[in-house]
């Protein structure tokens, strides 16, 4: 018999989060910024680096605790080839922290 358990070690309500893949993304043919953590933001058809300070990570998402990033910004997580041979960005919107585990636990408590 096996079991799966999620152990909550902390809770950060209303935290800004991005896919962890956004922090690993490095565009080809573009000079990489120096310094600490950064991600690439898509705006007006082009990308630009944004320095960030990261917090905790949770199942593929990472909390952003500092930097010039806002809820609703579009961060780049990868490249996709198109028919013209270019590589447009695959992007994801920055969102507030969502705790699906809390909803799941509430549902179990109602049983």
**Average pLDDT of adjacent 10-residue blocks, the chain of 111 residues:** 82 84 87 88 88 88 90 84 52 54 50 49
The predicted pLDDT at position 80 comes to: 67
The predicted pLDDT at position 50 comes to: 93
List Cα–Cα distances, 53 to 14, 25, 66, 88, in angstroms: 16, 16, 5, 26
78 in a structural domain: yes
The predicted pLDDT at position 65 comes to: 92
38 in a structural domain: yes
List Cα–Cα distances, 103 to 14, 37, 60, 98, 100, in angstroms: 15, 31, 19, 10, 5
Range of the domain at 80: 16-96
The predicted pLDDT at position 23 comes to: 92
Whichever domain contains 20, its CATH number is 2.40.420
In angstroms, the CA 15 to CA 98 distance is 9
44 in a structural domain: yes
Give how many domains the chain has, as a whole number: 1
In angstroms, the CA 96 to CA 82 distance is 31
């Amino acid at each position: 018999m096996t079991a799966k358990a999620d152990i909550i070690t902390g809770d950060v309500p209303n935290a800004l989060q991005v896919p962890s893949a956004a922090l690993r993304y490095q565009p080809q043919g573009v000079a990489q910024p120096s310094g600490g953590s950064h991600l690439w933001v898509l705006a007006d058809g082009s990308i630009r680096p944004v320095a960030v300070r990261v917090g905790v990570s949770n199942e593929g998402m990472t909390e952003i605790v500092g930097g010039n990033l806002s809820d609703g910004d579009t961060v780049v997580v990868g490249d996709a080839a198109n028919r013209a041979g270019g590589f447009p960005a695959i992007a994801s919107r920055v969102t507030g922290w969502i705790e699906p585990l809390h909803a799941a636990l509430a549902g179990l408590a109602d049983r």
